[in-house]
């Protein structure tokens, strides 16, 4: 009896449910075991932040926000596709492109589908968390 399709469907459903509505009161990332500043690189563990805190890479890029992700399925999909397209254009391992992509979005403060049409600095913590979730999904080719 093969269970692989069911496992894939469950994983995809969980990934979408984590950032689709923002109505849940539970954060989409577990609290960290150390300080709010992550020293993990984008290609290793997924950074996390305690509720109300921000995790910043050694390069100064926000890599996790301690807030529940807030986006619609359509926004999530658009942000994921925008990030995936950028990562593909850069070449190499998409996971190694997470921090550079987030750095670009944050430093240029651009407003496009990757940030729901709003500059990063104007996004609420929940919306910033949702952008990060979409970018991580893009690196894992989970845009759908």
pLDDT digits (tens, 9 = 90+) for 56-90: 999 999 999 999 999 999 999 999 999 999 999 99
Position 78 in a domain: yes
In the three-class reduction of DSSP (H, G, I as helix; E, B as strand; rest coil), residue 132 is classed as helix
Phi and psi at 84, nearest 5°, equal -65, -40
Paired tokens of 123: 């996004």
Count of domains forming the chain:
1
Cβ–Cβ < 8 Å for 86, 116:
no
Position 144 in a domain: no
The pLDDT of residue 5: 33
d(CA 21, CA 89): 30
Is the pTM above the cut of 0.95? no
Position 23 in a domain: yes
Residue 111 structural domain: 4-139
Mean pLDDT of 37-64: 75
Position 79 in a domain: yes
């Amino acid at each position: 009896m093969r269970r692989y399709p069911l496992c894939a469907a469950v994983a995809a459903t969980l990934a979408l449910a984590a950032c689709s509505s923002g109505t849940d009161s539970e954060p989409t990332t577990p609290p960290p075991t150390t300080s709010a500043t992550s020293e993990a690189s984008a290609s290793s563990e997924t950074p996390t932040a305690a509720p109300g805190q921000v995790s910043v890479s050694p390069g100064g890029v926000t890599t996790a926000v301690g807030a529940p992700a807030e986006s619609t399925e359509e926004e999530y999909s658009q942000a994921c596709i925008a990030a995936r397209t950028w990562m593909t254009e850069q070449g190499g391992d998409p996971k190694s492109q997470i921090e550079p992509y987030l750095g670009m979005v944050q430093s240029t403060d651009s407003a496009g589908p990757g940030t729901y049409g709003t500059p990063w600095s104007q996004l609420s913590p929940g919306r910033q968390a949702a952008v990060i979730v979409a970018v991580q999904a893009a690196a894992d080719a989970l845009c759908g």
